[in-house]
Amino acid sequence: MVVNPSKFDDLTAAEAKVDQACRDHGWPEPRWYETTIEDPGTGQTHRAIAEGAGLVCPLGGDGTVRAVAEGLAGTGIPMGLLPGGTGNLLARNLKLPVDDLDAALTAALTGRNHPVDVGLVGFDDDEPVTFLVMAGMGLDADAVGGASTALKKRIGWLAYALSGAKALVKVGFSVRVDAGAQRALSQHAATVLVGNCGELTGGLRLMPEAKVDDGLLDAVVVSPRSISAWFAVGLYVLTRHRRGHTALVHLSGPQITAVTRKPILAQLDGDVVGPRSRLDCTVRPGALLVRLPEGTA
């Protein structure tokens, strides 16, 4: 268990529940590795593997999940997703429990291994890092960065919606998006998202065709020019309309690049990484094994 202790008011109770579940399902007593500010989970995952782990479960937010996945990708050792944060984005996309630790433990301890894709993103001159759900620039990063920790604890994912609403007044930015074989797109945008899967918190699906195991990345460029256009985009997303909208352009491919004229706030699986002018994304098909309940597709 790779746990972020800052996500729990009573970690002892969570540990007792996990220990009991392991006993009930015939697993040995789990080893616990706490994350730190300096190492959010990748180093702990490497230690767990070196010490013989047959299953590694992140117990924290999306940042903890991403760090553990970075350590597990390509090893053949599966990950069990346990809810511990506000977004739980990968679990939502895989239809895993996000508010029931007991059910999530049952899936992790008794389920089957399913291969999912892993994204890699390099911002500007940074070294490429793993992402599981989305990397983006613009409004999405503003929404993440503007949501306070206290508000997220009180109202959950609605804190992101409130923060995003405040950012709607921003004028946007110029960007060029290239998805390889498809024609490059250059336009003014409010946000650019590259996704390994399509569902955000609250069940919003900006990229309805995106799948976590199709060997492709999907991108959406959102560029409404008025309040009425924002309303239309919101209606499109809420109704999961698949015919498209002029303020949303979709692209897909194994590699996607976005370049802006000036640095724009960027995020990675819900963690703000600061202003960036370029993102380069590639996919590693089936690189991560995730535990899913028996009988699921």
Cα(48)–Cα(41) distance, rounded to whole angstroms?
Answer: 10
- How confident is the model over 2-36, as pLDDT tens digits? 999 998 888 999 999 999 999 999 999 999 999 99
**Backbone dihedral angles phi then psi of residue 145, each to the nearest 5 degrees:** -70, -25
Instruction: Scan for tokens 């590795």, then name that residue.
Output: 33
The 8-class DSSP code of residue 27 comes to: P
70 with 129: CB under 8 angstroms?
Answer: yes
Cα 255 to Cα 236: distance, rounded to the nearest angstrom: 26
**Structure token digits, residue 40:** 């959010």
Res 270: pLDDT: 78
The sign of the torsion formed by the CA atoms of 92, 97, 100, 101 equals: negative
Q: Work out the pLDDT band at 233, boundaries 50, 70, 90.
A: low
Nearest to 137 by CA among 192, 199, 194, 201: 192
Taken in order 213, 83, 133, 285, is the CA torsion positive or negative? negative
Domains of the chain: 2-110 (3.40.50.10330), 120-286 (2.60.200.40)
pLDDT for 108-122, tens place per residue?
A: 999 999 999 999 999
Q: How far apart are CA 142 and CA 145, in angstroms?
A: 5
Distances (CA, A) of 163 to 49, 83, 144, 155, 230: 39, 23, 7, 12, 15
In terms of DSSP bridges, do strands 255-268 and 248-253 run parallel, antiparallel, or are they unpaired?
unpaired
* pLDDT tens column, 37-55: 999 999 999 999 999 999 9
Q: Does residue 48 contact residue 56 with C-beta atoms inside 8 Å?
A: yes
The SS3 call for residue 129 is strand
Residue 162 is predicted with a pLDDT of 47
The predicted pLDDT at position 88 comes to 84
Return the ∠ at Cα 267 (arms to 262 and 273), rounded to 5°.
75
- pLDDT bucket at 143, cuts 50 / 70 / 90: confident
| Greater model confidence, 93 or 171 | 93
pLDDT in tens, 172-194: 899 999 998 777 889 889 889 99
Whether the predicted pLDDT of 148 surpasses 50: no
Mean pLDDT of 149-176: 58
